Amino acid sequence: MHDVKRRKLYIEQDEEDLFKPGSIKTVKVWNFTTYSFGEFKLSPNLNMIIGPNGSGKSTLVASICIGLGGKIDLIKRKNLKSMIKMGHERASVEITLQGKLDEDVIVKREFTAKDSVWSINGRKTNEASVKDLRKKLNIQLDNLCHFLPQERAAEFAALSPEKLLLEIERTLGDGHLLNIHQDLISKDLVREELVRKIEEISSRLKHLYDEQEKLQQETKKLQEYEAKTQEIENHKMLIPYAQMSDLKHQIKELKRKQKSAKKKLLEFDNTVKGLQQDQEETLEKIEEQETKLAKQQAGINRLEGELADHTRDQTKIKLEIDQLQAQAKSLQTKSHEKKLDLETLKRDLQSLIEKKSRLEEVDEEEIAKLSELSKEKTQEIRKLHDKIEEEKYNKDSIMNEYNRSKKRMNEVQKKLESTDKLDLLSNSRFRNRLRDESFEGHRRLRAANQYKDCYFEAPVISCDITVKEFASAFEKLIDNNTLFSITTTSQDNYQKIQDYAHSIQKNFPIRFTKLIEKPLPDISDKHLLESHGFDGYLSDFIVGPPAVLCMLYDTIKIHNIPISKKPLSVKTIEKLTTPDSRTNRVPFMKFVSGDTLFRIQRSNYGNKQLFYITEKINYNSEYFNSTGMSQELKNELNTELSNIRQLGNTKKIEIQQVMESISEYQNSENELKQELELVKQNRDNLQSIKNKHAAMDGILSNKRKALEKTEHDANKDYTNKINQIDHKILEKYDKMSGIIHQITEITNNQISKQMSEFILTKLTLLNLTNRKLSIESLLDELDVTRNELLEEYRVSKQEYDKLKQGDAAQQIQQQSKDYTEEERATLSELANKYIENNTFTEALMLQKIALLEDERSIMSIGDHSSVETLKKNLKDIEIGEIELPRIEVEKTRLDKRIEDIQASWEPELTELINQISMAFNKRFTHVASDGNVQLQKSDRFKDWKLQILVKFRQESELKILDNQSQSGGERSVSTIFFIMALQGLTDAPFRIVDEINQGMDPNNEKLAHRYLVHTACQNNNSQYFLITPKLLPGLYYHPNMVVHCIYTGSQLEVNDDNQGFLDFIPKPEAIAKG
């Protein structure tokens, strides 16, 4: 829930009469940002909106912008969705404006993330109509002089001087000065283009006159050259006819070669025909023998398969006979073996019984006691182990503390030995916000490698003074903002460092310089400088990075500030501080004489006389005279180092004590472990005897069972089984005898016969194969010869067909088909001369062309385009002589028009700027040293500038208000006083300033606040909105202003309009209470 409380107005005049056309009477919002519903009832004069950060103060600014159709980027938001309260799809803004005819104009906008619905006085309309209404009422949301939300406050100081002038012209009066200025800029561009055209035509005419005579001479040379060229061209045109003659001779020769090659090929084919027939017969015989050999191999394979089967059967039967014989032998010896085993078992059983009787008896209770004692010893050992671990943990904690102190000691020792001048920024025990912020910024940047090449460190770190006596003078002349500032040499790097500073929330100064080399001083004569008693300029006694030095040249002008170790004479000082009678200038605006700084200044009043002020220089340099940290800081670090060493010694003693405790516990633990080992050994011995008794009982039981089984087996009879096995053995021998007979038959008769036939067939096949290979080898050799003859025939035929059937003749004819009848007659006459001499060939034609081109090469060559260029030259001269006077007349008329417009526009603009400057200076000098507004004129109207010059310290110079030269608070003060200086000169219905007081010191904020309240409530020209999160005590209030306090929370009471807030009661003490 948001609640807005207002101070009631107790004024005699009716409030409605005070609203000017375009002023805002009320603002209502629904589901807008954090508001479910909110209503602002506004004063026609000054409305101060206060409340804690995050309470929704800037929501009023956003609602005015969105409700009147302003671009959303004016308040630095991404889209309309960001303006709708979370959990809702639609929001509304309703604004009541004062119309031109004293009527209320209600503008309402209902919107979602994608679309909007507009209405004016309840009637549906569109965004264009709202913008037209805004234009009629002179509401300029895009003008920073009218509408300065928090998100764009920094943009005002960043406006270029040219853009600032245009914005001021737009806001002055009805904006007609801007229209005139833009018209002048447009006409100035046209005039510039006309001047360019005049210069271009004049230059072109001069060039054309110079070229005319040269072109005429070139034309004559060209005619002679072209005659020789035509002769060459005729011979080139004759080449196709010469090529056709050559082609006919080639076709005739190729026809002869083709017939000769064909004849040779036919004679060769008849020679090799008989050899090919012999090859075919040999191949047929080889095929027959291969078939016969395959059949014989199959028969041998079959017989070998049968022989392998019989052999396997023989081996199998023999194995069965061996097994049966083994069974018979086993049965014959089994009965006797069982009786022997029975006697052995009886002896073993008796031996085991005797052995068991000799075993020691075991007491079960003794084993139980020893087990219990083992558990107790184990518990004691575990407790000692826990104590040891606890002591080790204590030792590790103490060791960690010792290591941390040792690490810190190394850091302190390293810092004491370091010569890094960054320590200068952390040198003093007294706080200095600017210095501390700069120190932290440098430290962070050193750790951020991505910015390594984007900046140069502050002069106090990166620069050294070559003459130490001058160190204090440098610190006196270089302000702290510059002394501690980081330097950049490009706008991109400046923005990167600025963004980084914002990301780490550090406000250290940054300087941007465009200088790339040291500028010359105003007085560069060193002899003249020395004659005054100076040792040189400040720039002669400082070394450092060129970019940082260029920044000091640009900012402090150290190349124009001379210095001397010894004090200058009174006469010299008088000479240096007395202005020249002719120029009313002095040689140097600043100089150092011994321990005194002289500053020359010009009075702002009367005849602007020059005067000087002096300042003593304290020669106890804080920064430049030191190579590192101060002695005071070194003493502190040495003290810390001593304390750390003492702490380290204490920790060593503690560690030794803990180690002794650990050793005692470990000794006790080892004694207990020995006792435990002895108990376990006794228990294990008794348990071993017990286990032996149990094992012996098991063995005896198994022996008795084996004895019973052996007695049973020893009494069995195996005679019948042995007879059965002998009968089976005889049967197996009969079967194996038949198999051996079959094997002998196959081996001696069938296989022997088949192998003889197979070998004979194989020898026959080998002879035929050798004959085939011999024939093939001979044919291959003959085939090479045939291929050569065939290739010779193919090539000759291909070349003949190519010339006969190809398009060579057509191509040659194509070259000459476009010749005219006149050209053909000339060429025919020329060709006949060569034909008569039998020299009409392409080669001879090319030789003749080369000869003619050599003759042409020694001729004087004219420009091929001379004739056409001459014609074009004469035409261009004619056009230029007509165009130039016309453009000159047009420019003269435009000059007169610009002069007339400027005559009325410039005085009016100058007068208004002077009024702004006077109003600005009058109030601004209450919070600063000096300030004015200057109109910088130029030859080009687009380059006219408006500069806001401010000076916050008496010893400094007036500087242009920008993002680099002033701090955030100084820019805010300058901006608010400048905007107030426009009061009475503009027709702005309202002005909005959001948190412009951020960064101001309390005194300046009070003065700025008083000026704003006084201006807004007295002049009654524009309605004002000031948004701020705080109210300082002792601020100035006016009865015609309204303070809106915004609170956020679900427990707020309903607003009671009968109870005032900050009501004005005509008693000082009541005001103080309010």
pLDDT (tens digit, 9 = 90+) per residue, 299-331?
A: 778 877 877 887 888 788 888 877 877 777 776
Of 156-165, 795-804, 876-885, which range is least confident?
Answer: 795-804
Pair 597, 614: CB distance under 8 Å: yes
Domains and CATH numbers, the chain: 2-139+989-1073 (3.40.50.300), 419-627 (no CATH)
**Model pLDDT, residue 1020:** 65
Nearest partner of 135 among 72, 69, 183, judged by Cα: 69
**Model pLDDT, residue 718:** 62
d(CA 587, CA 534) in angstroms, rounded, equals 13
Which stretch, 58-67, 609-618, 682-691, 809-818, has highest mean pLDDT?
A: 58-67
Of 136-145, 159-168, 537-546, 626-635, which range is least confident?
Answer: 626-635
CA angle 906/908/909 to nearest 5° reads 65
Question: Rounded mean pLDDT of 540-547?
Answer: 92
CB burial class (10 A; 0-12, 13-18, 19+) of residue 436?
middle
pLDDT higher than 60, residue 766: yes
Confidence of residue 1069 (pLDDT cuts 50, 70, 90): very low
- Give percent above pLDDT 90 in the chain: 11
Question: Rounded mean pLDDT of 39-59?
Answer: 83
Confidence of residue 716 (pLDDT cuts 50, 70, 90): low
Q: In Å, what is the CA distance from 539 to each residue of 173, 556, 591?
A: 49, 10, 12
pLDDT higher than 50, residue 681: yes
What is the three-class DSSP state of 397?
A: helix
**Model pLDDT, residue 495:** 92
d(CA 454, CA 154) in angstroms, rounded, equals 23
**Model pLDDT, residue 799:** 67
**Model pLDDT, residue 431:** 57
- Which residues contact residue 576 at a Cβ distance below 8 angstroms, ignoring those fewer than 6 apart? 532, 568, 586, 587, 588, 591, 598
Bigger pLDDT: 819 or 574? Answer: 574
pTM score, whole prediction:
0.39
Tens-place pLDDT, residues 463-481: 988 888 888 888 888 888 8
pLDDT higher than 50, residue 31: yes
- Which residues contact residue 739 at a Cβ distance below 8 angstroms, ignoring those fewer than 6 apart? 310, 313, 314, 317
**Model pLDDT, residue 1059:** 42
Question: Rounded mean pLDDT of 213-224?
Answer: 71
What is the three-class DSSP state of 551?
A: helix
**Model pLDDT, residue 136:** 86
Bigger pLDDT: 491 or 1051? Answer: 491
pLDDT higher than 90, residue 79: no
Confidence of residue 487 (pLDDT cuts 50, 70, 90): very high
pLDDT higher than 50, residue 1058: no
Question: Rounded mean pLDDT of 877-899?
Answer: 87
Tens-place pLDDT, residues 864-886: 666 677 777 778 888 888 888 88
Confidence of residue 857 (pLDDT cuts 50, 70, 90): confident
d(CA 604, CA 558) in angstroms, rounded, equals 25
Tens-place pLDDT, residues 3-23: 444 444 333 445 667 788 888
pLDDT higher than 60, residue 151: no
Tens-place pLDDT, residues 177-206: 888 998 999 988 998 998 998 888 888 888
**Model pLDDT, residue 28:** 94
CA torsion through residues 33, 39, 45, 48, sign: negative
Of 298-312, 394-408, 928-942, 983-997, which range is least confident?
Answer: 983-997
Length of the chain: 1074
Q: What is the mean pLDDT of the chain?
A: 79
Tens-place pLDDT, residues 429-448: 555 788 888 888 888 898 88
User: Can you read off the two tokens belonging to residue 481?
Assistant: 């903002």
CB burial class (10 A; 0-12, 13-18, 19+) of residue 953?
exposed
Confidence of residue 93 (pLDDT cuts 50, 70, 90): very high
Question: Rounded mean pLDDT of 810-839?
Answer: 75
Q: In Å, what is the CA distance from 625 to each residue of 470, 593, 615, 621, 789?
A: 9, 19, 20, 5, 105
Question: Rounded mean pLDDT of 983-1004?
Answer: 72
Confidence of residue 454 (pLDDT cuts 50, 70, 90): very high
d(CA 72, CA 66) in angstroms, rounded, equals 7
